Structure 1
Amino acid sequence: MWNLSAPWWEFVLRGLIVYAALLFLMRVSGKRQIGQLSPLDLVLLLIISNAVQNAMNGGDNSVTAGLILAATLFGADVLVGYGTWRSHRLETLVEGRPEILIHQGEIFRDVMRRERITPRELQKALRRNGCERVADVHFAILETDGTVSVIQKEKSEEGQAKPTIDPMWQDPARPDADMSL
């Protein structure tokens, strides 16, 4: 129950290798896969967890091996989180960059194709954000967590759509300057 079949450092090394490999595979699979967990994705996640279990524990089912692996995985997650907080370069490497899907009502189909987002999924994201038409969108951005943020155009007095500028992105030296992108 408590006896290890291999040295403790081997479990740490196995856990770190599997953690890094899965992090890489999740990153390569795209933002959509991370942000929108479908039933197929859930099944895949469960199968992957079972598939990598033996790679981490090497057939050792002792409590000690399990605790070492759990501590290793939590520790790796904390270190990666701290590293991405400290380094913008590492954050971009691990989490990716937001992608613009729509700008001024124009859909960027090449980005949608690269991120494997269907037109129906984009429409659903727009409806979820209270937007009925693509023409009403100033920006639609696929965030690094897989969600879609939508910034709508606001209506002017003449009924024309004009972009909404968040004061956070406004340059204090130039109140008329749009610093959004």
Structure 2
Amino acid sequence: MWFDTWSDIVRVLAVGAAAYVTLVLVLRVSGKRTLAKLNAFDLVVTVALGSTLATILLSADVSWAEGAVALVLLAVLQIVVSWSSAHLPGGRSVVTARPTTVLRDGRILHDAMRDQRLTEADVRQAVRSSGNGGLDTIAAVVLESDGTLSVVPSSSLGDGSALD
């Protein structure tokens, strides 16, 4: 359909503006962590916030108040999970994957790469993107909990404590 009624358009404009303002306020109150790219749970919250906003905008079956409660609920759940992961023993391991070293001292760790479903090409691309030309100059490549590959050149290794 190209057009139903003007009242539908006005509803999207009014509820959409109110929902947008509500989302911005919820994000400001809940803090920077709500949209952080730290782990799978943070990604789920980010996607759920977007999906909820879209539902508020486009579904006449969902009132602005219901949508606002859903947005606040998602932010509160994210705060509870992040607090739990920081303060409860073992809480972090429930929602966050541990980093995995996939290259050490210039040698690719094939078992770790297979477990993480990475290819040598992925590791080589990360090394090139970091401005390095050879694996032999790299102390470690780590697959982080957010899915990024961190490259630590041998010249920057220091005592290696960041790799523990």
Instruction: Specify the TM-score bucket, using the shorter chain as the normaliser.
Output: 0.5 to 0.7
1:103-122 alignment to 2 at 5 Å?
A: 103-122=104-123
SS in 2 for 1:83: helix
Aligned-partner residue type, residue 68 of structure 1 = V
**Deviation string, structure 1 residues 93-145 (Cα, Å, up to 9, x no partner):** 21110101011111112222222222222111111222211122111111111
- Compared with structure 1, are the counterparts of its residues 93 and 122 closer, same or farther at alpha carbon in structure 2 (3 Å cutoff)? same
TM (normalized to structure 2)?
A: 0.59
In structure 1, what is the Cα distance between the partners aligned to 2:133 and 2:99?
A: 23
- Corresponding residue for residue 165 of structure 1: 158
In structure 1, what is the Cα distance between the partners aligned to 2:84 and 2:61?
A: 31
- Compared with structure 1, are the counterparts of its residues 117 and 88 closer, same or farther at alpha carbon in structure 2 (3 Å cutoff)? farther
- Corresponding residue for residue 8 of structure 1: none
Aligned-partner residue type, residue 146 of structure 1 = G
Work out whether residues 102 and 108 of structure 1, in 8 Å CA contact, stay in contact via their aligned partners in 2.
yes
- Corresponding residue for residue 6 of structure 1: none
More strand by share: 1
- Corresponding residue for residue 150 of structure 2: 149
- Corresponding residue for residue 73 of structure 1: 74
More helix by share: 2
Q: Greater RCO between the two (CA within 8 Å, min separation 6)?
A: 1
In structure 1, what is the Cα distance between the partners aligned to 2:100 and 2:163?
A: 14
In structure 1, what is the Cα distance between the partners aligned to 2:127 and 2:67?
A: 44
1:96-135 alignment to 2 at 5 Å?
A: 96-135=97-136
Extract unaligned runs of 5+ from structure 1.
Answer: 2-25, 28-33, 35-44, 54-58, 155-162, 170-178
Aligned-partner residue type, residue 158 of structure 2 = I
TM (normalized to structure 1)?
A: 0.54
Q: Aligned-residue CA RMSD in angstroms?
A: 3.4
**Deviation string, structure 1 residues 36-85 (Cα, Å, up to 9, x no partner):** xxxxxxxxx69x948xx6xxxxx941112111111110110111111112
Segments ≥4 residues shifted beyond 3 Å? none
In structure 1, what is the Cα distance between the partners aligned to 2:143 and 2:122?
A: 12
Work out whether residues 105 and 134 of structure 1, in 8 Å CA contact, stay in contact via their aligned partners in 2.
yes
Extract unaligned runs of 5+ from structure 2.
Answer: 1-10, 12-39
Work out whether residues 123 and 141 of structure 2, in 8 Å CA contact, stay in contact via their aligned partners in 1.
no
In structure 2, what is the Cα distance between the partners aligned to 1:88 and 1:105?
A: 34
Fraction of identical pairs, as percent? 23
In structure 2, what is the Cα distance between the partners aligned to 1:151 and 1:166?
A: 12
